[in-house]
Amino acid sequence: MRGLLRNNFYSMASNIRLSLIMAGFLSLVPLVLKESAAIPMILSIQIFLFVVNTGASLRVDETSKWNKFELTLPIRRRTIIGAKYVSFTLLILLGVMMSLLTLGFVYVAGFELDPKIVIYSYGFGLTLSITLVSLMYPIMLKIGTEKNELVVFFSGFAAIGMMLVLAALLAPVTGGMQLRHPLVGMISSCMATILFVISYFVSVHIHRKKEFK
């Protein structure tokens, strides 16, 4: 498992470094602008920023024939897929850590933030990130990485669509259709997590049936 994880991160090392630079820059934006209105969106972007690298990693694996080489290793296909999903989880956690760094800067700078907005920001960022990888990986595993950008766009659109549907369903509880209500963000994150688990089993099934060329 460790070797597989190491390879997953090696294949997207340059993109992760770039994401770290961008996330670090975003952490300083509120301090420079002296404006708190952009902070919720910055938190969401930072959480989402790192999982975008998964598309690049999958493309590198396919181009280098690593997918085919993995099958020669003395490991089960379930372990190969498990390593991918652990990598996805670590990328999301890295985004969360960077967003917490931003909150630390904001706190030191003396900005006042509505806790409800912060909860929503994390809910939106986590929903977008988790749904993205949950849909993107099994789809690319099935059809290949040639349409990487289109799959990423579709997955992101699906995440936002899920939040809109939940906002509509929760309207009687939240006092109208309020997409930025904390309850919408929390339930969306829970739904995305369930989708993530389902995605793992779907990916295992696809990988077992797939013949890599």
Structure tokens at 176: 């109208």
Name 179's Cβ contacts closer than 8 Å, sequence gap at least 6. Answer: 163, 164, 167
In the prediction, which pLDDT does 59 show?
73
Report residue 67 as tokens. Answer: 């997918």
pLDDT band per the 50, 70, 90 thresholds, residue 192: very high
Identify how many contiguous H helices and E strands the chain contains and give both numbers.
10, 0
Residues 7, 87 contacting (CB under 8 angstroms): no
List, for residues 89-100, the tens digit of each pLDDT value: 999 999 999 999
Mean pLDDT in residue range 11-26: 84
pLDDT at 170: 86
Of 47, 42, 84, residue with least CA distance to 62: 84
Q: Tell me if 111 sits within 8 A of 30, measured CB to CB.
A: yes
pLDDT number for residue 89: 92
Res 112: pLDDT = 78
The DSSP-derived string for 9-41 is HHTTHHHHHHHHHHHHHHHHHHHHHT-STTHHH
Backbone angles phi, psi at 46, to 5 degrees: -65, -40
Question: Residue 58 corresponds to which amino acid?
Answer: L
Q: Look up residue 187 and give its amino acid.
A: I
pTM above 0.75, yes or no: yes
Q: What is the CA radius of gyration of the chain?
A: 18
Query: 16-51 as b/e, with b when 16 or more CB fall inside 10 Å?
Result: beebeeebeebbeebeeeeeeeebbebbbbbbbbbb
Closest C-alpha among 134, 138, 140 to residue 194: 134
Q: What is the pLDDT of residue 27?
A: 86
